[in-house]
Homo-oligomer: A and B are copies of this chain.
Amino acid sequence: MCRWAAYLGEAVFLEDIVTAPCHSLIAQSHCAQEAKSPTNGDGFGLAWYGDRPEPGLYRDILPAWSDPNLKSLCRQIKSGLFLAHVRASTGGATSRMNCHPFISGRWSFMHNGQIGGFEKIRRALENSLSDAAFDQREGATDSELFFLMITEEDLAGDPQGAVSRATSRVIDASRRGGFEPALKLTAAFSDGQSLYAVRYTSDGHAPTLYTSAFRNGGGRCVVSEPFDGDGSDWQAIPPSSFVTIGRDGMSIRPFVPAAAKLALAV
């Protein structure tokens, strides 16, 4: 499992969220409080939007707590929309290509959770990708693969639907693989305009997700766990939710996999 934080609002220094708060994401890399494991030391990453439609990407394999580049970048860079992630591997090597966020064109994506039984269905899921999506695969994680799956499900036109349909593909592949689906999916992604997040599990406990306004400035954070104890007013996002944050506000809608939707519709 991992920890992440995302922000949309007026431009702020990344350090205001990633490194400066008392329980910042970097602090969480060393001692997370609501994660299965307190240590998230298997690499980290940043995707931030600036003057281009595509995000900048900085990922490395050191623990976030010991990387001086990360501290300096967060201190220097201002952005009105960014994703930041610290990794605790559930499998897959510690390499830059396995660190989140992943990007494709103007999209960025990061994930806390896992596709349970991934080793049994990895090949089937990879084969389900279009050639264009397959060619973008650089690493070996379930998370990157899930991201590539949503990019080919009309992600731009229907972000929630794209996640819903990709979730359904994972559930179907698990069943065809002969085991009960065990997907844990607490993820955030963005196209450079809006910030989306999902909290879902096919079984058991969904990884935590919180949101809060940031400094009364109209900005908003979505995070794995709160990064301060006092200044903010954190709201827990319920399981099976899809969050959309835009310049004009936030909506939280129920989230179910596409197949379940279809089944309910019948």
Contacts and interface: CB of A to CB of B under 8 A. Distances in A.
29 contacts: A30-B39, A39-B41, A41-B41, A42-B63, A42-B66, A51-B76, A52-B75, A54-B75, A55-B76, A56-B73, A56-B77, A57-B68, A57-B72, A58-B69, A59-B69, A61-B62, A61-B66, A66-B94, A67-B94, A68-B93, A77-B77, A93-B96, A93-B97, A93-B138, A95-B97, A119-B135, A123-B134, A123-B135, A127-B127
Interface in A145-200: none
A48 interface: yes
B72 A56 contact: yes
Contacts of A66: 41-42, 61, 89, 93-94
Interface of A: 13, 30, 38-39, 41-42, 48, 50-52, 54-63, 66-69, 72-73, 75-78, 89, 93-97, 119, 123, 127, 131, 134-135, 138, 140
A88 to B, nearest CB: 10
A230 to B, nearest CB: 25
Given A56-B73, A93-B138, A123-B135, 5 more contacts: A39-B41, A41-B63, A41-B66, A56-B72, A59-B69
Nearest to A103: B72
A20 to B, nearest CB: 13
A73 B58 contact: yes
Contacts of A127: 127
Contact of A96 (B39, B50, B68, B89): B68
Nearest to A39: B39
